[in-house]
Amino acid sequence: MKFITISDVHIKEEGDFSEKLFLSFLDQAKFLAVDKVYLLGDIFDLLVGGHLYYETIYPQVFLKLNLLLKSGIKIIQLEGNHDFHFKALIDKLLKKWQMSPEMWKYESSPVVEIVDGKRILFAHGDEIEIGNESYKKYRRFIRSGAINFLANKVVSPRITRKIGQRASHKSRKRNNIRYDEKYEEEKVRPLFRASAVQASSQYNASIVICGHSHCFDMHEEDSVYYLNNGYVPRTQKFFYFDGEKFESIKLDTSK
């Protein structure tokens, strides 16, 4: 089985650099003739609730996803902490496109897949991160059934977008401190390496692939292989598994 995977693209609006990178990533799926594409969360900087409205905001992205599925390549979609509660959007699109639910699977928690005898854990990253208890409390609340209901049935996506744009403006200010290089090297990288080792025993997997930390890594420790493509607008990288080994590939947006 061959696959490609990416997380943390953070597409904000149509035509931005993140969108260009993501479209180029989707082109790689056909070029490399993979069987599956794993999207590990935070593909969008803000996408909450299953509204078809999002298809009109990002027409190019959904057109390309449609063509990908038509070519027989399957998608496994994990929630991030910027894009979640949108299973209904995928259900609606698949129905509209007359495609089987098997083609585009939606997961709200980490998944383990057995690939050529190896157990691989796919996660966004915040679910397996060690510590950060106040964030985890916030995460439980925001992922709850009540918020799912609000996002899908009550609040219009236009309003969600406005609220989220404010929130991401605030978190960008924080991120400037958090993702400072020295802090990344000394705190974030070791924390996520340790989190990957812990998650590997929790999920009984020898390979852990996640994002969220925005800190690129390909690291082997205690016979656990941990991969993280980092913050894509900066790293411009994704992972390719050719059936035997992993490769980190740089995206080309010049075309």
- Residues making contact with Mn ion (CB under 5 A): 42, 80-81, 212
Non-local (6+) Cβ contacts of 105 within 8 A are 74, 75, 76, 77
CA distance 17 to 207: 30
Residue with the closest Cβ to Mn ion? 212
Across the chain, which distance is largest between two alpha carbons, in Å? 49
Q: Which C-beta is closer to Mn ion: that of 91 or that of 217?
A: 217
- List own/partner pairs for 135-139 with CB under 8 A and 24 or more apart: 139/81
Do 46 and 164 touch, CB atoms closer than 8 A? yes
Q: Which C-beta is closer to Mn ion: that of 68 or that of 84?
A: 84
Q: Which C-beta is closer to Mn ion: that of 51 or that of 82?
A: 82
Q: Which C-beta is closer to Mn ion: that of 38 or that of 73?
A: 38
Of 106, 98, 24, 93, nearest to 54 (Cα)? Answer: 93
